[in-house]
Structure 1
Amino acid sequence: MLRQGTGTPLVLLHGVTCSERVWRQVIPLLAPHHDVIALTALGHRGGVPAQGPMGIQDLVDDVERSLDALGMQQVHVAGNSMGGWMAIELARRGRALSVCALSPAGCWDPSARNHRHATNILRRVMRVTELTRWMLPVMAQLKLVRSLGMRDNAVHGERMSADDLIDMADDLLGCAARHELLDSVGQLVGLDPLPCPVTLAWAECDRIFPPKLNGTLARTLLPQARWQLMAGVGHLAMIDDPSLVAEVIRMAACQELIPQT
């Protein structure tokens, strides 16, 4: 767990194969406004080990246990990709004061075609990481390597430090649940009316979940949600522009629920 700041609690949830470390550049920007808590998901490197088969609801159960241990009934929640889906599920369970879902997972078409598109990219990234991890301490020093290595997830992978790229590779390889989670084709169930304010913030240059496909489906599943397109960033928008991501999250926590008419 990474924790910094004071104020109303704000929980950050990462995407599949990542960890709390993906939020390191964003946390200090939110700390003046919130008690910021970044968690590592069940079955991921540094998180609670998974016991047996698991799916999205098991991940959400684990977050609820963390909230209970912290003595927190309701919190603002922001999540990216898988973490965005988890954030929406926490809202469904009544644990969220607000949700900022950054390119959330779970928004597949009925044929799961866009699910296969995403998982095919991620499996390729896994294979390349497995083959090249041994040379990263040297190669990650090069901006071109960082840019190419992160091209599916970020527009400006070169903005990462070499250590951050190595950490991300180790998070991926250390995620015991990675194959199981990618094999799962569960879908986000629509949420209407909303139990709390929800912002769908989509990365304009998202190659994993393109906004014209997954973003459009998300808007049909959560028709009352506030929609925002984040310009110039990729799927892991916190790598491309931590300041933009922090501001989007901060504003999402300020939203008020619009009553149905």
Structure 2
Amino acid sequence: MSSGKSSIVLFHGVTMSSAAWEDVVPFLSDHHDVVALTALGHRGGPVARQRPVEVRDLVDEAERMLDDRGIAQAHLAGNSLGGWMAIELALRGRALSVCALSPAGFWDGGGHGQTAAVRKLRRIGTLVRATRRVHPLALRSAVVRRLSMRDVACRADRLTPTQALTATADLIGCTVTEDLLGTAEQIAPVSELPCPITLAWSAKDAILPPKVNGRIAQERFPRARFEILPGVGHVPMIDDPKLVATTILATTGAVPATTGVRSASPDADR
């Protein structure tokens, strides 16, 4: 039986899973029916039968997931790769609104804004795989959690050891990492938005910096609402779940927009 609330569908970043949204979902569930999906080829998600996998394949599979749930349109929110997927679904007419948190896909044909991100993500993956045997013991330490995840979050120490272990298991269990890191795809410019879109960039994003990728995003989506989220890293759900939820709910119209967060320039130092 329907709750009468509109649906919101959440998409995680590359090598992650729906578990990335665990601390955000409680803040959203009073306002929306929440569906957190795990992408094709990621741990716990549909198995990738054909390789290499491209972002369009993940979007195709996500659309099938929506169809299977009887969701014609929903509010969509995503981080990094998930933000890219949400935007592409919106361009297919599946979104009531989109909140894209530091979305991937905003780089130029020469790879500007992509190469450095890929290099860092590959380095993270190599380190996590090389140290997998010590994770259960090492990640009990809040200091280790914070330092080991510093490229993606400012406050990974606020995760529980179980949550940190899940994140590392998700990374190791992702079968399509290299496919996606090697893609030549990108998000094309649009002059008219298919629905309200918020591009919410993490101020301390070390993977897709606002001064580089955020600027490209503003140039390609000039009619989108652009925000800088203060004090958070590339995966803001780790650092400040409440801020993330408030930003999403402002996009869906469930709560008023928060003052003091929006920035007209990705160069803003927040």
CA drift of 1:110 comes to 3.0
Aligned residue runs from structure 1 range 110-259, under 5 A: 110-254=109-253
2:56 alignment partner AA: Q
Matched residues in 1 for 2:32 and 2:84: separation?
Answer: 22
Matched residues in 2 for 1:159 and 1:131: separation?
Answer: 24
1:102 counterpart = 2:101: yes
Q: Is contact 1:6-1:33 (8 Å) kept?
A: no
The aligned residue for residue 67 of structure 1 is 66
1:133 alignment partner AA: R
1:58 alignment partner AA: D
Q: Deviations over 1:23-73 (max 9, x none)?
A: 000001100000000000000000000111221111111111111111110
1:249 alignment partner AA: I
CA drift of 1:209 comes to 0.3
Normalised TM-score (structure 2): 0.91
Q: Deviations over 1:126-184 (max 9, x none)?
A: 11101111111111011110011110000111111111111011100100001111111
Aligned residue runs from structure 1 range 71-86, under 5 A: 71-86=70-85
Matched residues in 1 for 2:148 and 2:252: separation?
Answer: 33
Q: Secondary structure of 1:11's partner?
A: strand
The aligned residue for residue 18 of structure 1 is 16
1:52 alignment partner AA: Q
Give percent identity, aligned residues only.
48
The aligned residue for residue 57 of structure 1 is 56
Matched residues in 1 for 2:108 and 2:92: separation?
Answer: 24
CA drift of 1:6 comes to 6.5
Q: Is contact 1:126-1:172 (8 Å) kept?
A: yes
Give aligned pairs, total: 251
Q: Deviations over 1:213-258 (max 9, x none)?
A: 0000000111110011000000000000000000000001119xxx
Matched residues in 1 for 2:184 and 2:135: separation?
Answer: 32
Matched residues in 2 for 1:62 and 1:52: separation?
Answer: 12
Matched residues in 2 for 1:141 and 1:253: separation?
Answer: 37
5+ unaligned residues in a row in structure 1: which ranges? Answer: 256-261
Matched residues in 2 for 1:238 and 1:30: separation?
Answer: 13
Matched residues in 1 for 2:158 and 2:120: separation?
Answer: 21
Q: Is contact 1:115-1:185 (8 Å) kept?
A: no
Matched residues in 1 for 2:124 and 2:222: separation?
Answer: 33
1:207 alignment partner AA: A
Q: Is contact 1:233-1:241 (8 Å) kept?
A: yes
The aligned residue for residue 258 of structure 1 is none
Alpha-carbon RMSD across the aligned residues, in angstroms, is 1.1
Matched residues in 2 for 1:6 and 1:20: separation?
Answer: 24
Q: Which aligned runs of 4 or more in structure 1 are off by greater than 4 angstroms?
A: none
CA drift of 1:191 comes to 2.2
Q: Is contact 1:9-1:75 (8 Å) kept?
A: yes
Matched residues in 2 for 1:128 and 1:171: separation?
Answer: 14
5+ unaligned residues in a row in structure 2: which ranges? Answer: 255-270
Matched residues in 1 for 2:109 and 2:210: separation?
Answer: 17
Matched residues in 2 for 1:142 and 1:10: separation?
Answer: 34
Normalised TM-score (structure 1): 0.94
The aligned residue for residue 45 of structure 2 is 47
